[in-house]
Chain A
């Protein structure tokens, strides 16, 4: 049954992601990326990760992409012709060849995936029993305390950096 939802969502994610790089107008590209985020959020729902799904929509599709759109509109980014209309065919072909090789390599590698890995304590049943959001909150402040705290320092650095680079000298 899951396949009925997974296949269209995955196709939507891949298709919109392709549009992000194929479309000419940067605004359309940004809107296509919003579509990708929605499709991904649907995939997260399928994985029973409701919190991540909602956060994906609120933060990525909502806040970050709206900011992107504003920046694109304010800067009035020119409409660059897509790469296949430019006259550097050999480079394009070389790039496509390398992509094909990488895809093949990944396919072989993932096809040979035999390592079983550690089974963590967080099975779907456990997560549903405790509650998705509660569990993430608890983990952030216990097991992942130090990465969580360092991330706050990274945000501070980013704010200071943006201010340093943006203010007038």
Chain B
């Protein structure tokens, strides 16, 4: 029961140890490196992320539980850890030029992104409600600070405060759910919880209440409707790389713990929670897509579009089984790639006074920079789900899983929603290709790291779209033995 600390346990958490050490080194170097040259800390952080990835890849295919069974390395955790580290690295690359433009370059920004990534990695490996919650808080506290990093911007202050309040609120709801589960079963380990719940305790109203509380709390974290009201303001006000972090990484981390808790701890209630997520998914994609049409600020539009994509992701959770969950895993990669790419484009358009936040700022982009316009077009087509992009493949598997499991209506509504989304994504494309360049338009000068981000996301989007086989196989093998 109470075993002492040993090195074997530590080696399972080696990637996390390396990442936190890198973050602390960045914090210390921040004192030495003079202001104006702190780009180097950004590059160093990316190196640290690559190092962590290398250490992580030694766990390929391994399944091992550690730290009194609270921590588990398995293919599922590994899949998401790689995704989080890759997203974290790309976000740091985006930030380098952005922070220089805002005159706010500092090592703390990179260190906090690394710590947020650490929190997500812990969430991916957590098989105990205690660690799961602590990982969630590690990530959230970093993002509260990062959202308010531009202290002189009122919108950034507002974003930080709103996210702090709603984040604290939703954490409290998750804690209520955890406490009720613990009170019912006397266990915090997900497997132990599942093994104490027998057929006659499964219909206990207290258990249902705990399930609803957990679903609502996770709903806030993944920005599902009706728990989404703070999302547009936070996305608009936060520094753009942090908006990307929120959309592409933090929401997926929320989805990971949602999958773990519902699939491992309370699989006996699948009928009930599938119904719950059915309604959430339907509301989320419909509200997200319909409200996105009316937006004129690109960050707000992408915020609503990310809400809609969370709705699509939930379809896989509803469908369940190997087919649905592997489709969800595949779509998280697709979603992360195209969202990161889209926000990188928003940063690219931050030249001079133009902040690249109105959709009008995209007018005539094809004349200013044909390459950038083409990249944005590919990302938009993927977001809308048009072949031959990754968005199409991802949706194909998600909707296919829904149909296979008999959720025909849900799949139909999702298809209608995709058609609606095409309308507002194409609004940006029309602005880029059909409208004239405003006279004030300057030449674009993307920084080198930003070019890398755009290249990786666009190529990734096309690669998964054209040749999805290996990615789908990876997603399928990652969920083996999950429940």
A163 vs B115: C-alpha distance in the bound complex, in angstroms?
Answer: 16
List A contacts of B106 (CB < 8 A): 164
Task: Say whether A151 faces chain B, with CB atoms less than 8 Å apart.
Answer: yes
A163 vs B13: C-alpha distance in the bound complex, in angstroms?
Answer: 29
A147 vs B119: C-alpha distance in the bound complex, in angstroms?
Answer: 12
Q: Which of A119, A153, A154, A160 makes the CB contact (< 8 A) with B186?
A: A119
Which residues in chain A, 96-119, are within 8 Å of chain B measured between CB atoms? 105-106, 108-110, 112-115, 117-119
Q: Given A106-B209, A158-B141, do A143 and B2 touch, yes or no (CB 8 Å)?
A: yes
Across the interface, do A153 and B67 meet the contact criterion of CB distance under 8 Å?
Answer: no
Task: Say whether B322 faces chain A, with CB atoms less than 8 Å apart.
Answer: no
Across the interface, do A118 and B144 meet the contact criterion of CB distance under 8 Å?
Answer: no
List B contacts of A121 (CB < 8 A): 1
Across the interface, do A145 and B207 meet the contact criterion of CB distance under 8 Å?
Answer: no
Q: Please give me the residue from chain A that is nearest to B116 by CB atom.
A: A157
List B contacts of A146 (CB < 8 A): 13, 67, 70-71, 131
Q: Which of A120, A142, A157 makes the CB contact (< 8 A) with B112?
A: A157
CB distance from B140 to the nearest CB of A (A): 10
List A contacts of B20 (CB < 8 A): 153
Q: Given A119-B186, A147-B130, A169-B104, do A153 and B5 touch, yes or no (CB 8 Å)?
A: no
**1/0 per residue A124-157: CB within 8 Å of B?**
0000000000000011011111110011011011
Across the interface, do A153 and B131 meet the contact criterion of CB distance under 8 Å?
Answer: no
Task: Say whether A161 faces chain B, with CB atoms less than 8 Å apart.
Answer: yes
List A contacts of B118 (CB < 8 A): 153
List A contacts of B134 (CB < 8 A): 147, 150-151, 154
Across the interface, do A164 and B149 meet the contact criterion of CB distance under 8 Å?
Answer: yes
Task: Say whether A165 faces chain B, with CB atoms less than 8 Å apart.
Answer: yes
List A contacts of B13 (CB < 8 A): 146
List B contacts of A105 (CB < 8 A): 209
Across the interface, do B112 and A161 meet the contact criterion of CB distance under 8 Å?
Answer: yes
Task: Say whether B135 faces chain A, with CB atoms less than 8 Å apart.
Answer: yes
A114 vs B14: C-alpha distance in the bound complex, in angstroms?
Answer: 42
Across the interface, do B148 and A165 meet the contact criterion of CB distance under 8 Å?
Answer: yes
Across the interface, do B4 and A142 meet the contact criterion of CB distance under 8 Å?
Answer: yes
Across the interface, do B138 and A147 meet the contact criterion of CB distance under 8 Å?
Answer: no
Which residues in chain B, 70-98, are within 8 Å of chain A measured between CB atoms? 70-71
Q: Which of B1, B131, B206 makes the CB contact (< 8 A) with A112?
A: B206
Task: Say whether B53 faces chain A, with CB atoms less than 8 Å apart.
Answer: no
Q: Please give me the residue from chain B that is nearest to A120 by CB atom.
A: B186
Q: Given A150-B122, A154-B137, A169-B152, do A114 and B67 touch, yes or no (CB 8 Å)?
A: no
List B contacts of A138 (CB < 8 A): 2
Number of chain B residues whose Cβ lies closer than 8 Å to a Cβ of chain A: 53
Task: Say whether B352 faces chain A, with CB atoms less than 8 Å apart.
Answer: no
A71 vs B465: C-alpha distance in the bound complex, in angstroms?
Answer: 55
Q: Please give me the residue from chain A that is nearest to B104 by CB atom.
A: A169
Across the interface, do B2 and A117 meet the contact criterion of CB distance under 8 Å?
Answer: no
A137 vs B285: C-alpha distance in the bound complex, in angstroms?
Answer: 48
Q: Given A121-B1, A154-B137, do A113 and B204 touch, yes or no (CB 8 Å)?
A: yes
Q: Please give me the residue from chain B that is nearest to A164 by CB atom.
A: B108
List A contacts of B149 (CB < 8 A): 164
Q: Please give me the residue from chain A that is nearest to B67 by CB atom.
A: A146
CB distance from A134 to the nearest CB of B (A): 12
Q: Please give me the residue from chain B that is nearest to A142 by CB atom.
A: B2
List B contacts of A160 (CB < 8 A): 27, 108, 111-112, 145
A150 vs B70: C-alpha distance in the bound complex, in angstroms?
Answer: 13
Across the interface, do B144 and A161 meet the contact criterion of CB distance under 8 Å?
Answer: yes
List A contacts of B112 (CB < 8 A): 157, 160-161, 164
CB distance from B35 to the nearest CB of A (A): 11
A158 vs B115: C-alpha distance in the bound complex, in angstroms?
Answer: 11
Across the interface, do A142 and B68 meet the contact criterion of CB distance under 8 Å?
Answer: yes
Across the interface, do B135 and A117 meet the contact criterion of CB distance under 8 Å?
Answer: no
A150 vs B206: C-alpha distance in the bound complex, in angstroms?
Answer: 31
A145 vs B20: C-alpha distance in the bound complex, in angstroms?
Answer: 17
Task: Say whether B197 faces chain A, with CB atoms less than 8 Å apart.
Answer: yes
Q: Please give me the residue from chain B that is nearest to A118 by CB atom.
A: B186
Q: Which of B5, B68, B187 makes the CB contact (< 8 A) with A118?
A: B187
A163 vs B134: C-alpha distance in the bound complex, in angstroms?
Answer: 22
List A contacts of B71 (CB < 8 A): 146
Q: Which of B68, B138, B151 makes the CB contact (< 8 A) with A143?
A: B68
Which of A108, A118, A151 has the most chain B CB atoms inside 10 A of its CB? A118
Across the interface, do A139 and B2 meet the contact criterion of CB distance under 8 Å?
Answer: yes
Across the interface, do B201 and A118 meet the contact criterion of CB distance under 8 Å?
Answer: no
Q: Given A147-B70, A164-B145, do A117 and B108 touch, yes or no (CB 8 Å)?
A: no
List A contacts of B205 (CB < 8 A): 108-109, 112
**1/0 per residue B337-365: CB within 8 Å of A?**
00000000000000000000000000000
A147 vs B68: C-alpha distance in the bound complex, in angstroms?
Answer: 11
Q: Please give me the residue from chain A that is nearest to B149 by CB atom.
A: A164
A110 vs B144: C-alpha distance in the bound complex, in angstroms?
Answer: 35
Across the interface, do A157 and B1 meet the contact criterion of CB distance under 8 Å?
Answer: no
B residues in contact (CB < 8 Å) with A: 1-5, 13, 20, 24, 27, 67-68, 70-71, 104, 106, 108, 111-112, 115, 118, 122, 130-131, 134-135, 137-138, 141-142, 144-145, 148-149, 151-152, 160, 180, 183-187, 192, 196-197, 200-201, 204-209
28 contacts between A and B (CB under 8 A): A105-B209, A106-B209, A109-B206, A109-B209, A112-B205, A113-B184, A113-B206, A114-B200, A115-B207, A117-B196, A138-B2, A141-B5, A142-B3, A143-B1, A145-B67, A146-B70, A147-B130, A147-B131, A147-B134, A150-B131, A151-B134, A153-B138, A156-B24, A157-B141, A160-B112, A163-B108, A164-B112, A169-B152
A residues in contact (CB < 8 Å) with B: 105-106, 108-110, 112-115, 117-121, 138-139, 141-147, 150-151, 153-154, 156-158, 160-161, 163-165, 169
Known: A151-B134, A160-B108. 4 other contacts (CB 8 A): A117-B187, A117-B196, A150-B131, A165-B145
